[in-house]
Amino acid sequence: MDADRRLRGPYTAGGAIASALAPTARPELVTRYDIELRAMAPDLHGLVPARRRSMADHLPRAERILVHAPRRTLRLSNGFAEFLREHLAETGPRTLVVENVHEADPTDHELLAVLRRRIGPELLTVVTGEQTVPDEPLTPEEHDVRADELEREGTIGARIGAIPYHREHGTDPHKAVEAFRSAVEWCLDAGFHDAVAELGLRALPLADPAGEPETWWRLLHSTATALGSLEREDEAEALFDLARRESVSPVTHASAAYSTGMLRVRHHDPARRDLNAALAWVNQAIAISTLLPDPRERAFKLGFDLNGRALVEVRRGDPAKALELVQEAVELAERDLRPDEHPIHRLVLRANRAQLAVMLGRPEDALEDLDAVIAADPGYPDYYIDRGNLLHRLGKRDAAIADYETAMRVGPPFPEPYYNRAEILFSIGDHRGALVDLDHALELDPEFVDGLANRAGLLAALGEYDRARADAEAGLALEPVNPYLLCALGQVEMAEGRYKEARTAFDQALEGAPSLTAAWASRGMLAFETGDPEGAVTDFTRALEPGADPALLFNRAMALRAAGRGEEATADLTRALELAPDDDDIRRELTV
């Protein structure tokens, strides 16, 4: 397979593998992984019908407002790896030789890493090389001829790979811009942000903001959106600054202001987030959108901006104000948009209203909104995660698990539903089942920090200290001050008798998360074990602040007794027995 992205763009190699195997693979297997195969090999659409679809698949581009998360491609790679592993288990081992990996798109680099990690050498051997026979140089006129030939063939792969390349090196800048525009739009819809950024940055010097302002702005906006998703916020903001200098369009200025505000509030580095600047920018967007003359355009764009300001208000600690803004956006859409217009925009507003209702202690209102959102778009997996989390919070464990399992089915594999189901399994005492789910979540994404933290804590509780330490250290390499990872590391250090190191880890965890119950409880155990019962009482008391817990009450009672405070110890044991009447340890200590 040749991985050179100048052939078929993102997944040039992945698409070639899919095209070679899908026609002979078991039909049920092809159907099960339809999203992954269609994304990697878009020219297979005639062979691979779409089974799992969301509302966005049926809408015009202008109404498909959701931008795929950067980890979308990891989901696709994991799904394709599962397809390939099962196919090879049925048909026999293969060797995959991939050339020109130095010219591959990041999607193919990620895919090859996933294939190596998730498919054993007994089924698949991956061999990569960096050089095949070099291309013969073409004249600009020959590039034109080749682009014309490829356009007549009409494949999507060429449209996002070879055609932009040949048009860029041909004689007609206008055709080059049009080729780039088509490729950028397709790749942005697919979530291939690296390709969007590369293609867009190559296209913009060729585009004319005065002669073709709409095309130029769409290229710039798409490119900046991709750059922001790739944590290249400074480059994205520089493009929006360019738009402000080049354009006098109110819509362009409103959109650039909104997008700049979102860059400031969402910056991947928390130290560089600037909520005041974000508020100023998004208010500018609101001010401009309020003046748009067309009521339908105003309802959509102003609603979008109000929703953006709601995010800023949440980060500023005012969810009530955020809810007012989202409600205003909902009412604008209901009043001024046609009933069938911008359905995804409406669903996003309702889903955000649900999250704000949860923050404000109104879970039933949130559940009503999430039920409506899922009923309208049952093929979008992320909403099931939101509703599952709410159902878990409401104590409806079986319904929550059902939502997590639906999320597993309706889209390519991702770690969150397994991680969330593991939390429920742990809460009902199925620790081994929880570990299986966490193992799978981390097989899907070894850098999933929340999964590393939970698995480290669970492994420590199960006495598997070497594995727990490995997870904690792997997670801390990614997030050095993550309090949950520090707490898990402290538990390992304590179990292995490294009390000074354990205390340091617990102290650091509590610096980052002063209300982290597990860290207070663990530090209390450390104090008790090292002969400081009064310190243990203090820490257990902090751990009990969220509410009474029989295990914590029992531990505090033991510390109180060791500190000579027998009556208080008896009171704690009595309360613990009320909460856990079948606990023999509590009952025995009450008789001492």
Per-residue pLDDT reduced to its tens digit, 477-501 = 999 999 999 999 999 999 999 999 9
* Parent domain of 86: 1-135
| Residue 72: inside a domain | yes
The whole-number average pLDDT for the span 551-565 is 97
Q: What's the pLDDT at 136?
A: 80
Per-residue pLDDT reduced to its tens digit, 287-299 = 999 999 999 999 9
Residue-wise burial string across 49-74, b where 16 or more C-beta atoms lie within 10 A, e elsewhere = eeebebbbeeeeeebbeebbeebbbb
Contacts of 584 (CB under 8 A, 6+ apart): none
Q: Is the pLDDT of residue 375 over 70?
A: yes
Do residues 293 and 299 lie in contact, with contact meaning Cβ atoms separated by under 8 Å? no
Do residues 226 and 203 lie in contact, with contact meaning Cβ atoms separated by under 8 Å? no
CA angle 417, 366, 484 (to 5 degrees): 45
What are the phi and psi torsion angles at 515 (to 5°)? Answer: -105, 15
Q: What's the pLDDT at 130?
A: 77
What are the phi and psi torsion angles at 105 (to 5°)? Answer: -70, 150
Q: Is the pLDDT of residue 131 over 90?
A: no
Do residues 191 and 68 lie in contact, with contact meaning Cβ atoms separated by under 8 Å? yes
Q: Rounded to an integer, what distance in angstroms lies between the CA atom of residue 65 and that of residue 61? A: 8
Write a three-state SS string for 87-135.
Answer: HHHHHCCEEEEEECHHHCCHHHHHHHHHHHHHCCCCCEEEEECCCCCCC
Question: Assign residue 92 a region: left if phi > 0, alpha if psi is -120 to 50, beta otherwise?
Answer: left
Q: What's the pLDDT at 72?
A: 97
Percent of the chain with pLDDT over 90: 98
Q: What's the pLDDT at 47?
A: 94
Mean of all residue pLDDT scores within the chain? 97
Do residues 506 and 477 lie in contact, with contact meaning Cβ atoms separated by under 8 Å? no
| Residue 310: inside a domain | no
Does one domain contain both 549 and 493? no
Does one domain contain both 78 and 43? yes
Does one domain contain both 118 and 51? yes
Per-residue pLDDT reduced to its tens digit, 450-471 = 999 999 999 999 999 999 999 9
Q: If you ran DSSP here, which 8-state letter would residue 44 be given?
A: G
Tokens of 551: 């295990």
Does one domain contain both 38 and 117? yes
Does one domain contain both 491 and 519? no
Per-residue pLDDT reduced to its tens digit, 337-346 = 999 999 999 9
| Residue 494: inside a domain | yes
The whole-number average pLDDT for the span 237-241 is 98
- The CATH code of the domain that includes 464 is 1.25.40
| Residue 568: inside a domain | yes
The whole-number average pLDDT for the span 154-171 is 98
Q: Is the pLDDT of residue 135 over 90?
A: no
Does one domain contain both 468 and 566? no
Tokens of 377: 């778009």
Domain end marker among 135, 167, 200: 135
The whole-number average pLDDT for the span 158-180 is 98
Predicted confidence band at 353 (pLDDT cuts at 50, 70, 90)?
very high
Per-residue pLDDT reduced to its tens digit, 246-264 = 999 999 999 999 999 999 9
Per-residue pLDDT reduced to its tens digit, 66-105 = 999 999 999 999 999 999 999 999 999 999 999 999 999 9
Single out the residue of 277, 191, 272 nearest to residue 234, CA to CA.
272
What is the value of pTM for the model shown? 0.93
What are the phi and psi torsion angles at 95 (to 5°)? Answer: -110, 130
First vs last Cα of the chain: how many Å apart?
74
Q: Is the pLDDT of residue 20 over 80?
A: yes
| Residue 589: inside a domain | yes
The amino acid occupying position 231 is E
Does one domain contain both 479 and 582? no
| Residue 151: inside a domain | no
Q: 3-state DSSP helix/strand/coil percent for the chain, to nearest 5?
A: 75, 0, 25
Does one domain contain both 56 and 131? yes
Per-residue pLDDT reduced to its tens digit, 388-436 = 999 999 999 999 999 999 999 999 999 999 999 999 999 999 999 999 9
Structurally, the chain folds into a number of domains equal to 3
Predicted confidence band at 276 (pLDDT cuts at 50, 70, 90)?
very high
Domain end marker among 96, 113, 135: 135
| Residue 32: inside a domain | yes
- For residue 274, the SS3 value is coil
Q: Is the pLDDT of residue 134 over 70?
A: no
Q: What's the pLDDT at 132?
A: 61
The whole-number average pLDDT for the span 40-59 is 94
| Residue 274: inside a domain | no
Measured in residues, the chain has a length of 592
Does one domain contain both 469 and 586? no
Q: What's the pLDDT at 133?
A: 60
Does one domain contain both 25 and 125? yes
Tokens of 46: 């005639």
Q: If you ran DSSP here, which 8-state letter would residue 69 be given?
A: P
- For residue 194, the SS3 value is helix
Q: Rounded to an integer, what distance in angstroms lies between the CA atom of residue 446 and that of residue 223? A: 29
